[in-house]
Amino acid sequence: MRVGVISDTHGLMRPEAIDALKGCELIVHAGDIGKSAIVEALEALAPVQIVRGNNDLKLPWAAHLPDRLRFEMGGWQALLVHDIADVPDVLDEGVQVVITGHSHKPLIDWREGRLFLNPGSAGPRRFKLPVTVAVMEVEGKSLVPRIVQLLE
């Protein structure tokens, strides 16, 4: 199962992001979406799991989106929140993947057998940070994440 992870689009859906997510069986958006058209574009590619970010709180169309979401992807239990500060100090034992956004900094960090993943930002460039998404290959007990740089 191929899972695409995107965050911090802030209303900008880059064609490079769409290309990187094509072929994914599931897409995860970690918040700060910006426009409902972003959700529609992602849903045209694959089913979407999504949370709202701090910049989505004031947007009426995003009012129904959760701040925290737990879901299953290819047999792996995932927790999705926008800001890593909102991840509980003590995670449920079943959570194997924690997906966040907010910082715009891509991160793949395995901590005691649990993956912490931030795909970085696919929206407007912030400071000198890269413009990225993440893709995970999930097969049985194997989960292989990678960061995909969209722009040089």
Domain segments of the chain as ranges: 2-149
C-alpha to C-alpha distance for 129 and 108, rounded to whole angstroms: 15
Type of residue numbered 133: V
Closest CA to 129 of 109, 143, 149: 149
Give the pLDDT confidence of 72-106 residue by residue, as tens digits: 999 999 999 999 999 998 898 899 999 999 999 99
Rounded Cα distance, 149 and 119, in Å: 10
CATH no. of 2-149 = 3.60.21.10
Q: What percent of the chain lies above the pLDDT cut of 90?
A: 91
Q: What is the pLDDT of residue 42?
A: 98
